[in-house]
Amino acid sequence: MDLKHLHSFIRIVEFGSLTRAAATLNVSQSLLSRQVRQLEIELGTHLLQRNGRGVTATDAGRQLLEHGRGILRQVEVARQQLGQSRGPQSGKVVVGFPPSVGALLTVDIVTRFRAGYPLASVSVVEALSSSLLEWLQLGRLDCALLYNPPVNANVHYRHVHSENLYLVGSMRSGVPLPDSVPLATLGSYPLIIPSHLHSVRQLVEADAAKHGVSLDIVVEIDSIRALLDLVERGVGYGVLSRNAVLSRAPGHSLRAVPIVQPNIETRLVVATPTQRPVSTITERAIGMIDDAIQRGLLDPVFES
């Protein structure tokens, strides 16, 4: 497979247009069409379909898009590893954070990384842990922080932080929360909670089932911002880490209290792939993440 053809295909899908992709790549549309056709012949399937506004990827094209981004990223990493003339402090690292963690770490990590390694570049991607894990295996990420990931032979995990989960409610509701909520009573609160793809949902349901607690889930929503908006309006209660609430703008009316007897503990790990080497610059970025956690950036004083 020609990497130039693969790169062209990815740009076409990203722009949704042969015209815009050709202008960006500074080549003719006819050349791009020939490159995509060559890929289709090689793979034995159609990759693009035309519509009134441009082009979109077929099911096979979307699969190639995901794999192709990882392939190009790994070629870039290989070039960095082999080209040592610029020294070990050059290259590029792509880091993945869950949104609640990114809100607290991204600015610190990027600022310190740019100051320490001016010849290198860093990219930060925020998404659910399940998506970050998939992208790490596909090669689109070099490392990631993940909440409660499943056992996976393709990924190495190192535990770096633990957080207890809190029940989050609105102080406008007129029904004040107690100072703590026993797990046995969690079923009496109407919950707004992420879908099954979210690690928090999986953890809460597993611990509730273990202790015979039936949950009252009234809304499923993966956007933490929207979830907290609904909680603040009194639609229901959330079960989240305190960092999710701390990322809220000042002046909110949310109150969070710990879930106890027992606590529900979420684990945060640094994840790296086992199927490919970790670059020097990625190791430096991980070192900065470790330092930020040790400095307590994930442990600010929480006022309930």
pLDDT digits (tens, 9 = 90+) for 159-218: 999 989 999 999 887 788 899 999 999 999 999 998 888 888 889 999 999 999 999 999
Do residue 156 and residue 167 come from a single domain? no
State the pLDDT at residue 172. Answer: 81
Q: Please, is 30 exposed, middle or buried when counting C-beta atoms within 10 Å of its C-beta (0-12, 13-18, 19+)?
A: exposed
Q: Calculate mean pLDDT across residues 88-112.
A: 88
Q: What per-residue confidence (pLDDT) applies to 72?
A: 78
* Segment holding 271, helix H or strand E: strand 265-273
Interval 43-55: pLDDT, tens: 888 888 888 778 8
181-182 and 143-147 strand pairing: unpaired
φ/ψ of residue 54, rounded to 5: 150, -130
Which among 243, 217, 74 has a CA at the least distance from the CA of 165?
243
Residue 166 lies in a domain: yes
Report pLDDT for 86: 52
Pairwise CA distance, residues 103 & 101, whole Å: 5
Contact 129, 149 (CB under 8 A): yes
- Do the domain assignments include residue 98? yes
- pLDDT band of residue 303 (cuts 50, 70, 90) is very low
Give the residue from 78, 102, 118 where a domain finishes.
78
The string of pLDDT tens digits covering residues 39-82 is 888 888 888 888 877 888 889 888 888 888 778 777 776 766 66
Which residue range(s) make up the domain with 130?
Answer: 86-160+267-294
Question: In angstroms, rounded to a whole number, what is the distance separating the alpha carbons of residues 142 and 147?
Answer: 17
What pLDDT sits at residue 81?
63
Give the Cα separation of 132 and 112 in Å (integer).
23
Integer angstrom CA distances of residue 253 from 45, 117, 195, 230: 54, 41, 24, 12
Percent of the chain with pLDDT over 90: 39
Give the model's confidence band at 302: pLDDT under 50 very low, under 70 low, under 90 confident, else very high: very low
- Mean pLDDT for 248-258 is 81
Q: Is residue 139 part of a domain?
A: yes
State the Cα–Cα distance between residues 128 and 99, nearest whole angstrom: 7
Cis peptide before 262 (omega within 30 of 0): yes
CB of 253 closer than 8 Å to CB of 172: yes
CA pair distance 240, 222, nearest whole angstrom: 12
Do residues 240 and 170 share a domain? yes
Q: Which DSSP letter does residue 117 get? A: -
For the segment 231-258, the average pLDDT, to the nearest whole number, is 83
Among the three residues 55, 78, 101, which one is the final residue of a domain in this structure? 78
Tally of structural domains, the chain: 3
Output the CA torsion sign for 61, 66, 69, 75.
Answer: negative
Q: Is the pTM value of this prediction over 0.75?
A: no
Q: Is residue 70 part of a domain?
A: yes
pLDDT at 107 over 90: yes
C-alpha 7/C-alpha 183 separation (Å) is 51
Question: pLDDT per residue over 124-141, tens digit each?
Answer: 999 888 889 988 988 889
